Amino acid sequence: MGVRETIFTMDTSSIKYGPGATRELGLDMAALGPRRVMLLSDENLVYGEQVEIARESLKEAGIEFVTFSRVRVEPSDASFRDAIDFAQRGDFDGYVAVGGGSVMDTAKVANLYACWPPDDFLDYVNPPIGRGLPVPGPLKPLIAVPTTAGTGSETTGVSIFDYEALHAKTGIAHRALRPTLGIIDPHNTATLPPMVAACSGLDVLSHAIESLTALPYSQRPAPEHPRERPAYQGANPISDIWAAEALRMVGANLLRAIRDPDDEEARGNMLLAAAAAGIGFGNAGVHLPHGMSYPVSGMVRDFLPDGYRVRHAIVPHGMAVILNAPAVFRFTASANPERHLLAARLLGLDVRGATADDVGEILAQGIIDIMRATGMPNGLQAIGYKESDAPALAEGTLPQHRVTKLSPCPADRDDLIELFRAAMRYW
């Protein structure tokens, strides 16, 4: 393996939290210096209250803005290119994203490609699909205002998209992509449909468990140069704190927030959990549930989830992740039973008398119970996949080196095929 890593870093965005905090957006942007910004949203939100409040706040601060609403839910390379072209022609000195992870990820990429146009679109994209070139320098200020409690994208330097030529998800990961400020406002999630809230919250759950159980940073190979140290470094003592607190908050608030949209305390806590998990996995990384989710989303045939106003087949990101999670944690528990036991305990599961041999099943069954309570499909079969698809899904996972190599248990092609088969049906 060569020389092992002995250093980890801790990076995150600044965070502002509170009901009504979106109304301070204009003042926050003015303090950062921009006078002309690109305001990104999607067609489902652009005429809604959240974006209107953002517009009014920018106007009151004297900041010129141009609205871009062609963000695709579950972005593609084509939708990214559309936003990039808009940003490159717009002469913007700042960016605002009001929306879910798709909007925030699109804003990050628009900012990057407008500031540092590459020779080829794939230059910044993670290997092996792209070249994974480092970002040459700083980007323009970006303020992210999440309207879902899921991705934690307001804290991370990661941007994910469907690369349509390969029918697979990939992304760009670099510390420079992190938003300058994340404004976390519970008012912005009050109208989330139950399925959207469920998928978002289950993404938080898996973020937290994956970063808590990821390969420790000290077991990764050291980079040849500090500039090459990845954004996803492996579990470390600081990321553990954020992941653990996120998981505790999910266990206490997820079902409350879904079942009662008027429970502002629960919704606010889920937003905080999403940010905390984002800080955790934004530094530690995620592993197999996310790596396996990318082909699940990229190879979807005709699945249209409830609550998502889209005209194209999608598997929402949080759904694609959680459908793999029980199978994965049964597989990985033996590599680090103590971490998996901690995850189960933080989630509020009964672990009294549990042995190392029990913990994988306890954690998996606990997640399955939450899936059932939140209306998730019963495994991959319920969204249109068959056991015969498992080899293709495994092939689509193998290129996701950025995350799969953080699994505490190495997983080769045959392992992945068996994991996908195990994820076909849970009850």
For the chain, what are the domain ranges? 21-184, 194-422
Q: Give the chain's length.
A: 427
Tell me whether domains 21-184 and 194-422 share a fold: no
User: What is the rounded CA–CA span in Å between residue 42 and residue 48?
Assistant: 10
pLDDT at 387 over 60: yes
Q: β-pairing, 64-68 with 36-40?
A: parallel
Partners of 70 in the beta sheet? 42
**What's the chain's average pLDDT?**
95
Predicted pLDDT of residue 311: 78
pLDDT at 136 over 60: yes
Topology (CATH level 3) of domain 21-184 = Rossmann fold (3.40.50)
Residues 167, 173, 177, CA angle at the centre, nearest 5°?
A: 120
CA-wise closest residue to 166 among 311, 318, 295: 295
Distances (CA, A) of 253 to 99, 178, 345: 21, 27, 15
pLDDT tens digit sequence for 310-347: 878 999 999 999 999 999 999 999 999 999 999 999 99
pLDDT at 286 over 60: yes
What are the φ/ψ torsions at residue 192 (nearest 5 degrees)?
-65, 130
Predicted pLDDT of residue 324: 98
Predicted pLDDT of residue 1: 54
Return the axis-axis angle of helices 237-259 and 359-373, rounded to nearest 10°. 30
Residue with tokens 């005209």: 311
Torsion of CA 268, 317, 382, 358, to 10 degrees: -70
Mean pLDDT, residues 88-106 taken together: 97
Partners of 143 in the beta sheet? 96, 181
CA-wise closest residue to 6 among 242, 283, 286, 216: 216
Superfamily of domain 194-422: Dehydroquinate synthase-like - alpha domain (1.20.1090.10)
pLDDT at 17 over 70: yes
Exposure string (b/e) for 112-147, b if CB count within 10 Å is 16 or more? bbbbbebeebbebbbeebbebbebeeebbbbbbbbb
Give the pair of three-digit tokens for residue 374. 């939140």
Determine contact, residues 222/6, Cβ cutoff 8 Å. yes
Predicted pLDDT of residue 305: 92
pLDDT at 2 over 80: no
Determine contact, residues 364/343, Cβ cutoff 8 Å. no
Predicted pLDDT of residue 230: 87
Determine contact, residues 198/321, Cβ cutoff 8 Å. no
pLDDT > 70: what percent of the chain? 100
More confident residue, 378 or 228: 378
Distances (CA, A) of 95 to 3, 66, 87, 236: 40, 10, 9, 31
User: What is the rounded CA–CA span in Å between residue 108 and residue 115?
Assistant: 11
User: What is the rounded CA–CA span in Å between residue 299 and residue 317?
Assistant: 13
pLDDT confidence tier of residue 166, bands split at 50, 70 and 90: confident
